[in-house]
Amino acid sequence: MRVKRISRFEFQLLERFWELGPSSVREVQEALPEEHRPAYTTVQTMIYRLEEKGALRRLKKIGNAHIFEAVLTRTAVHKRLITDLLEMFGGSPTSVMSHLVETGKLTLADIRAIERDLSRRERKS
Amino acid sequence: MRVKRISRFEFQLLERFWELGPSSVREVQEALPEEHRPAYTTVQTMIYRLEEKGALRRLKKIGNAHIFEAVLTRTAVHKRLITDLLEMFGGSPTSVMSHLVETGKLTLADIRAIERDLSRRERKS
DNA sequence: GCAAATCTACTACGCATGTAGTATGTAGGA
DNA sequence: TCCTACATACTACATGCGTAGTAGATTTGC
């Protein structure tokens, strides 16, 4: 089953679940940054929508509150986001890297670290 | 002036302009892949919206048709997309790279190529 | 046991996006 | 010149997202 598209704010909420583990609406809402913290019912609505999309599920009930947990893993969603972006770029990962480098976001040290990591992995397999 | 958000389909249209240079609505519409080619007026509407967003401008008029051209460069928009994605990842470019590596999209050779490129650049500056 | 707090479930609404129709204007060939 | 083909400008509408309010159920503290 192809996972439905996850919006930016939905992604923020999922991050909370990955961070906190199974949580109630209240817990997630309070874990959001104070500066931009939507109303309780706003968070509730988004959580319901994530449930409909199959990204969250109701785990149990504590008191009168439902406890939700993430169905998708952080890694899976991250991959999906990157794959989508890559698709827009005609599937060229090197051009993504070039941009990262050009904006100074990726340093030589970062690249060397990844390279070490990757060559270690290749030797193993 | 902060450039407004560009949607997926808007991005597809911009790609046509980067490819074709200044073009009419008709030319852009016909350059879209046959499988998923929206109606002429659909493309027209989206082009008007891109104009409102400042991503396109009317260059001149040929016959009774307006010729539009891209204001933003492909590179600028690509950077913006990557920056946005990065923001979602907590600004960590290495995790983006890790995912590219994990999905097999980025090879050791790719990384070495970028590394060479970057170290050359660093020596120069 | 009752009132206050809290939660759920539902509804609403404005803006963005993708889609396209319609009325009107213009250009160019017979 | 007048008809036809094409373009413009405007309007419309469904869906998704971000936002939140309200009515009614449930819990809990006293």
Q: Look up tokens 């051209």; give the residue.
A: B69
> What is the H or E stretch that residue B121 is in?
helix B108-124
Specify the CATH class of A1-91 in words: mainly alpha
Just give the CATH number of B8-70. Answer: 1.10.10.10
Residue B29 to residues B1, B43, B72, B78, Cα–Cα distance (Å): 29, 6, 20, 22
Please indicate if any CB of chain A lies within 8 Å of the CB of B109. Answer: no
Q: Which nucleotides of D are covered by protein (CB under 7 A)?
A: 6-12, 16-22, 25-28
Residue B53 to residues A30, B46, B47, B71, Cα–Cα distance (Å): 35, 10, 10, 10
For B46-58, write each residue's pLDDT tens digit: 999 999 999 999 9
Put simply, the answer to whether B100 touches A105 (Cβ < 8 Å) is no
Which chain A residue lies closest to B104 (C-alpha atoms)? Answer: A93
Put simply, the answer to whether A112 touches B115 (Cβ < 8 Å) is yes
Residue B48 to residues B54, B59, B65, Cα–Cα distance (Å): 10, 13, 13
The mean per-residue pLDDT over the stretch B28-39 comes to 95
Q: Per-residue pLDDT for chain A (125 aa), expressed as one digit of tens each? A: 456 789 999 999 999 999 999 999 999 999 999 999 999 999 999 999 999 999 999 999 999 999 999 999 998 888 888 888 888 887 778 888 888 877 777 888 888 888 888 788 777 76
3-state secondary structure B89-120: CCCCHHHHHHHHHHCCCCCHHHHHHHHHHHHH
- Report residues 4-23 of A contacting strand D, contact meaning Cβ closer than 7 Å: 5-10
Smallest Cα–C1' distance to nucleotide C16: which residue has it?
B7
Distance of alpha carbon A33 from alpha carbon A42, whole angstroms: 15
Residue A2 to residues A39, A55, A68, B35, B36, Cα–Cα distance (Å): 31, 11, 21, 21, 20
Return the ∠ at Cα A25 (arms to A21 and A31), rounded to 5°. 65
Count A/B contacts: CB-CB distance under 8 Å: 98
List CB contacts (< 8 A) between A94 and chain B. Answer: 106, 110, 113-114
Distance of alpha carbon A93 from alpha carbon A90, whole angstroms: 9
Residue spans per domain, chain A: 1-91, 92-125
Task: Count the Cβ atoms, other than its own, within 10 Å of residue A99.
Answer: 21
Please indicate if any CB of chain B lies within 8 Å of the CB of A18. Answer: no
